[in-house]
Amino acid sequence: MTATLVATTAWPEAEEPPTRFGPMRTLRHALTLTWRSLIKIKHSPEQLLDLTLQPIIFVVLFVYLFGGAVSGDRHVYLQFVLPGILVQSVAFASLGVGQSLAADLQTGVFDRFRTMPIARSAPLIGAVFGDVVRYVVTVAVVLGFGAVIGFRVGTDPLSALAACALVLVFAFGLCWVTALIGLLLRNPRTVQGIGAMLMFPLTFGSNLFVQTETLPGWLQAWVNVNPITFVVEAARGLLTGQGAVAAPTIKVLISVAVLCAVFVPLSLAAYRRRT
């Protein structure tokens, strides 16, 4: 019985497995391996701790410890800061794909993928797609907990969904950066450390927690070109109606296009070298 199964799944000796697959077959293979990423969460549910507890801790700390000092009213500050914490939580969650890739490279699972009749890039694309699903969990936790403690959407459901979609699109572009880090480094802990060094200046060096006008001039120059600032402004406008929406949204989409244009080819090249 085993021999029969092997014979049906292996390529015939006279026929070499195809070296190139079309876009649709590559996508189909990637979606299959996306399911593998989700199954890993099922068997190791502790992977969801950073996606659920960390955002809640950030909301509690910044709203209840600093809200009164920053704006004088915790509810007013909650309306201001929660869209930013939503962006920050997804940004830090994007480190997961880099750590996962580094761990898989250590275990040699990609060597097994090379022997299978699937597109060469499918495991990498599947890992990224699987991480996007994790971001959805983070978005739901932040907005759900925010609603429990008093956050209210000041626009309409369609605008709120647009805000969530925009944050997820940006996270998709950002996770290719962390994927490249995970492919270049050999240790998941090193990936986490380097990734945190990257995320802290991006998230804290923005208008996430305070208005840009309250910052010193030299820091304002960085905040005004920081892509996290664009996402926060767009999400804040779409969720609460405070601030512009169109201009920061266009900047976010341009930033995502640049990130994908630069880091997707670099990640694929690094993946081919490592596997």
pLDDT in tens, 31-82: 777 777 777 666 666 666 777 888 899 899 889 888 877 777 888 899 999 9
Q: What is the mean pLDDT of residues 209-226?
A: 90
Instruction: Report CA dihedral (45, 141, 246, 177) to the nearest 10 degrees.
Output: -30
14 domain residue, yes or no: no
- Alpha-carbon distance of 71 to 246, in angstroms, equals 26
> What is the maximal distance between C-alpha atoms in the chain?
76
First to last CA, the chain: 32
- Total structural domains in the chain? 1
3 domain residue, yes or no: no
6 domain residue, yes or no: no
Please state, for a pLDDT cut of 70, what percent of the chain lies above it.
88
76 against 25, higher pLDDT: 76
Does position 17 have pLDDT exceeding 60, yes or no?
no
Structure tokens given for 155:
């626009």
Q: What is the pLDDT of residues 169-213, one digit of tens each?
A: 999 999 999 999 988 887 888 888 888 888 998 999 899 988 888
227 domain residue, yes or no: yes
Does position 238 have pLDDT exceeding 60, yes or no?
yes
Q: How many residues does the chain have?
A: 275
Q: What is the mean pLDDT of residues 17-21?
A: 56
Averaged pLDDT score across all residues of the chain: 83
217 domain residue, yes or no: yes
Angle, helices 188-204 vs 227-240, to 10°: value is 60
11 domain residue, yes or no: no
167 domain residue, yes or no: yes
Residue 101: domain span: 24-274
69 domain residue, yes or no: yes
Confidence band of 2 (pLDDT split at 50, 70, 90): very low
